[in-house]
Amino acid sequence: SGWLSKPIRLLQLRRMLVNLLIPESMETIAAVGQIPPRLPEIRGDLVILMAEDNPVNQKVALSMLKRLNYKADVANNGLDVLSSLETKAYDVILMDIQMPDMDGLNATRCIREQRTKKQPYIIAMTAYALDGDREEFLKAGMNDYLSKPIRIDELKLALDRCEKALKERGS
């Protein structure tokens, strides 16, 4: 019914337990007519594409997004990203850097060269955590950076920054 990644923080454990235990008790109380049930927060405000070639990483990231009440489409490489952008406008792309056929840096450069009216917010995701990498990703046209392994709190902050940036530019 739930999972936490190590190291487990007390606040994360508490939130998970509350989310797992309270909805059932709230439904029971609502069934006998005492108070209305608490509805989960629905976040359909970001259209997300996740570019990741590793199936395990895909599953983990999709699970994190689900816990944050987001859904995402998946592309297996940079060429799939470009193809997906032809059929659907995405607000944000979670872009792995190392992928077969076309890596995340080249895919980002291609997206930025298209000069479309609505450019997606691109968040780099990579296991590389060397000095200067962030600057290289930003120079290629990415808006933000997350190092792997991705932590849910960092992902949430990055998506919050994305929503703020999109609101500021009027998207």
What's the farthest any 2 CA atoms get from each other in the chain? Answer: 60
Could you state, in chain order, the average pLDDT of each consecutive group of 10 residues for the chain (171 residues)?
78 76 51 46 75 94 93 96 94 95 95 88 86 84 92 94 88 51
pTM of structure: 0.73
pLDDT of residue 23: 53
By the 10 Å C-beta count (0-12 exposed, 13-18 middle, 19+ buried), 18 is classed as: exposed
